[in-house]
Structure 1
């Protein structure tokens, strides 16, 4: 008899449930019985897919960065690297809003049930920054950003956008300074801070907004 094939759908379901429980209720809610009940599966499935609870928590983190990478790689390279950079920021935000529980776990906003991230785990996050580093280098080469270290620029962009999104997810950004208004202003400010001219930065950020749906947000298939 051939071994039973693992169901990728139940694996994803378990990861999403674990992330939600950690983010909303804390580590005390994370048990094989609770996971199995919410997934409509047996407790053995948890062990079959992840080996142990620590393996499941590690996969929550890895899955979070994999989904983030998926959004970032959808951003196409164009002749306007500053617009590309702004769209990477939009992709980062879109991923966080689409996967808030994963986002909380992968960046330490939720307790990991006694499981500590290793340097290897954190490397997944650093790897996703490669897209931003490459784009920053193109902005420097094009003369849109002042001469500097592309990797440092990428880290500055990352930390600034991450901070704003953390406030947004926490419900701290409300009218008249809501998330949309602050995010659009921050994108322009980041580009100008890196050395771009205000008018050029404003145009590029606006262009990235027009590209958002086609490259980052999934376009619904026509019905009927």
Structure 2
């Protein structure tokens, strides 16, 4: 009697990565359970047993993107120098986006029309900014940062980084913009602007 096929974590991640690639390169119409199964060399039964329906698959993509992002944000070593730490968070954001660019559009660009994350996925997405918020709050408490509430400073830093990364991912940065050096210089200038 043949051994039953297992639908393990490795297959789940392979399917999520392929689904993200389909979305980012061909758009929402390209994402079908049948195509995904064929591309990953598995059965549609495996896809349905791992994710349920297409909506659940998209929610799993969103969640996986933010899990990876959260891991990078939480891994940022803090120096105690607020400007340096804000720059480090910005670099971690970019690293995460470049490493998982195929998930970025589902996380931030509404790649699937009508998709709304479930409550748990939405809470995870919001919690990923907590390390940044903690750093900003500490900077305000220490009298180093000022001029606005912590949430305003943190979300403004996030928006700045998000804008630069989105321009890079979409190929909209000018050729003379050194993606490594200029990016860090811009992050540092933005962070310094919040100093008291």
Query: Is the alpha carbon distance of 1:109 and 1:100 closer, same or farther for their aligned partners in structure 2, counting shifts above 3 Å?
Result: farther
| Aligned 8 A contact 2:62 2:121 in 1 | yes
Gaps of 5+ in 1: 197-224
Query: Is the alpha carbon distance of 1:61 and 1:55 closer, same or farther for their aligned partners in structure 2, counting shifts above 3 Å?
Result: same
Q: 1:163-216: per-residue Cα shift (whole Å, max 9, x none)?
A: 1100000111133224334412321221122126xxxxxxxxxxxxxxxxxxxx
| Aligned 8 A contact 2:84 2:188 in 1 | no
Aligned to 2:66: 65
Gaps of 5+ in 2: none
Once residues 81 and 114 of structure 2 are traced to their aligned partners in structure 1, the CA distance between those partners, rounded to angstroms, is 45
Q: Give the 5 Å matches for 1:1-224.
A: 6-108=7-109, 110=111, 112=112, 114-118=114-118, 120-195=120-195
| Aligned 8 A contact 1:18 1:30 in 2 | yes
Q: TM-score under structure 2 normalisation?
A: 0.90
The number of aligned residues is: 193
| Deviation (angstroms), 1:146 | 1.9
Once residues 47 and 166 of structure 2 are traced to their aligned partners in structure 1, the CA distance between those partners, rounded to angstroms, is 30
| Deviation (angstroms), 1:143 | 2.6
Once residues 189 and 125 of structure 2 are traced to their aligned partners in structure 1, the CA distance between those partners, rounded to angstroms, is 24
Q: 1:24-81: per-residue Cα shift (whole Å, max 9, x none)?
A: 1112211122111111111101111001111100000000000000001111233323
